[in-house]
Amino acid sequence: MTNQQVIQQQFLDKFLDFILVKCPNCELCARVVKLDKKLSGSTHSCTCPHCGYLDVTNADSQGPLELSEAVDPFFQLPLYLETICPERRLWAYNLDHLQYIESYIEVKTCGACFDELSVEHSLPDWVIHKQEEALNEIQRLKDTVFCTFK
C-alpha cells in the first residue's frame, strides 16, 4: 500500500466474530468465537487450547457492548494483542484487525474525520506520529501469536 492509496474506514464490530484474549486460567492466548449467525444478539464461547478453559455467554443478556477498551466486549477479558510502549497503548481484537491497523499506519491517514465506532477513531494519535515504533510493536504482536500456536 502506498501513501497515495486511501484506506476505507472500518468499524470495530467487523472484527468481533473471532477475538484473541488472555485466558483467565493460564493467561496464554484463548479465543472468543461467535457461535451463531443471528444479526442481533449472539452467543460467544471462550476457549483456551492450552489449558482447556471453556465459557459461554449470550450477548443479549449483557446490554450494550463497549467497544473502546482493550478487553473483549463479551467476557471482559484482556486482549491478547495489546502492547504498551512508553505509556502508549495499542490493541487489536485479532490478526485481521491488527493487519488493518498496520495498513492504516502505513498510509499515514492523518487528520481525517472518522466515525466514533470506527477502528481509526479508536487508535491513539501516536501510531501516526511514531509510525516506525507502532509498526515494530505490531510486528512483535504478530510474532507472539505465531509463536503461541506453533
**C-alpha–C-alpha distance, residues 58 and 74, integer Å:** 8
Tens digit of each residue's pLDDT (9 = 90 or more) over 89-100: 888 999 999 998
- Between 37 and 49, where is the model more confident? 49
- For residues 39 and 9, the answer to whether their CB atoms sit within 8 Å is no
Question: How many other CB atoms are there within 10 angstroms of residue 39's CB atom?
Answer: 5
Its pTM stands at 0.76
Which residue in 7, 25, 100 sits closest to 92, CA to CA? 100
DSSP 58-75: EGGGT-SPP-SSSB-TTT
Tens digit of each residue's pLDDT (9 = 90 or more) over 94-123: 999 999 888 888 776 555 545 554 566 567
Mean pLDDT, rounded, of the chain: 78
Lowest mean pLDDT among 19-23, 43-47, 145-149: 145-149
pLDDT at 54 over 60: yes
pLDDT at 89: 81
